[in-house]
Amino acid sequence: MKIKTIEAIGISIPMVKPVKMSFEEVRAANNVLVRLETAEGVVGWGEAGSAPSMTGETLQGMVAAVRHLAPRLEGVDGDDIAAVMERSDLYLYGNAGAKSAIEMALHDALGKTTGKPACELLGGKRRERAPLLRLIGSGKGTAADVEDALKAKADGYIAFKVKVGVGDPRDDAERTREVCKALGNGKVLVCSDANQGWNPDQAIAYVRALGDTPLAFFEQPVPVGDLEGIGRVAKATSIPIGADEGLHSMDDLKRHHEVGIAGGSLKTIKLGGMRAVIEAGQLCEHLGMKVNLACKMAESGIAASAMTHIAAAMPALDWGVSLTNTYLTDDLIKRPLDLSGGHVALTAGPGIGADVDEAKVRRYAREV
């Protein structure tokens, strides 16, 4: 398969409602799409969410990065995806998010060319479906969060993530405890995520206030630069501590493992592609770390479809999958993902299995 063209398309899709993170409010998804066409006329799609505070990449930066690489990759043989990405690294340092969109499009195109689902290109299918990690964080207090969690449980969800780190640690601990209790204290997976919102002392106050609440894990309590601090939190509690924003490479995983971090949230935009996420999962298995797979808030059904193939090929997937396409007011795929019963099913068809609606892509495209 020869790469003919690589097109970068900047898109902006409004969120159903603004999502409050610890220090920002996400109102619209600003993502780059990559439309890769081969000499044989096969089209592959990739997507990456902009995440200035996580990857350092803005929408404008990602579009520029893809456009910088496009003429250097067009005409190149695309069968060896690793070689194409090595070539990308020669011409452009960093920019893992932009590169991940190209890498995803290559997996889609190569899968369609060879008639294989992307999970087969990633080492083979180990599972057909994976539990979705349902976000709990209405911003309307404990009672509303408990009600939301119970409704989701009735719909079949077996994994939940409570958003914390915005308010007082003791208040967030109280809310976390109540959600855990309502869901049966250990009967389903409940975790929490502070998105770097606290300092180590606040994070330790939170885990202490949780008492013996059976929280499955507590993610990214402190800012990414504070490896000593996250290690201190891990030592202060028996609750497993996870990392997310702090993980951008295999070395990051090893460093976090050394200070006692129990697992991590793996994203294509942080690691640079689907293959890199699988390799990170293999390293996690080797180190005895747990894995959560996550799309960036918020990526469309294109990235979500790719994620079902990563989930299918992951060695172990103890901490569920976070998809974010349902937070968008509209999606870019014609055939919706099967999210029934709190699980996501592997998308069918070759490549990433996303039937992309090109008319919608053009509708949400913005001048960059």
**Sites of contact with Mg ion (CB under 5 A):** 193, 219, 244, 265
For Mg ion, which is the closer residue by CB, 265 or 300?
A: 265
Angle formed at CA 339 by CA 335 and CA 341, multiple of 5 degrees: 145
For Mg ion, which is the closer residue by CB, 102 or 247?
A: 247
Q: Is the peptide bond before 298 cis (omega within 30 degrees of 0)?
A: yes
Q: Where are the beta strands (DSSP E) in the chain?
A: 3-20, 25-38, 43-49, 129-131, 133-136, 159-163, 189-193, 217-219, 241-243, 263-266, 290-294, 321-322, 343-345
Please identify the residue of the shown chain whose CB is closest to the bound Mg ion.
Answer: 244
The answer to whether the beta carbons of residues 69 and 86 sit under 8 Å apart is: no
- Cβ at position 168, least distance to Mg ion in Å: 20
- Cβ at position 241, least distance to Mg ion in Å: 12
- Cβ at position 285, least distance to Mg ion in Å: 20
In sequence order, the 6+-apart residues with CB closer than 8 A to the CB of 249 are 271
Among residues 216, 264, 206, 221, the alpha carbon closest in space to that of 240 is found at 216
Q: Is 211 left (phi over 0), alpha (psi -120 to 50) or beta?
A: left
- Cβ at position 286, least distance to Mg ion in Å: 23
In sequence order, the 6+-apart residues with CB closer than 8 A to the CB of 108 are 36, 44, 45, 46, 118, 306, 351, 352, 354
Structure tokens at 82: 């690793």
- Cβ at position 294, least distance to Mg ion in Å: 7
The answer to whether the beta carbons of residues 179 and 7 sit under 8 Å apart is: no
For Mg ion, which is the closer residue by CB, 152 or 294?
A: 294
For Mg ion, which is the closer residue by CB, 31 or 88?
A: 31
The answer to whether the beta carbons of residues 208 and 175 sit under 8 Å apart is: no
For Mg ion, which is the closer residue by CB, 78 or 229?
A: 229
For Mg ion, which is the closer residue by CB, 44 or 240?
A: 240
Name the residue type at position 187: K
- Cβ at position 316, least distance to Mg ion in Å: 19
Among residues 349, 267, 243, 336, the alpha carbon closest in space to that of 101 is found at 267
- Cβ at position 130, least distance to Mg ion in Å: 17
For Mg ion, which is the closer residue by CB, 102 or 191?
A: 191
For Mg ion, which is the closer residue by CB, 202 or 265?
A: 265
Structure tokens at 249: 């490479």
Structure tokens at 312: 């299918």
For Mg ion, which is the closer residue by CB, 43 or 239?
A: 239
Among residues 103, 115, 111, 176, the alpha carbon closest in space to that of 145 is found at 176
- Cβ at position 149, least distance to Mg ion in Å: 18
- Cβ at position 201, least distance to Mg ion in Å: 21
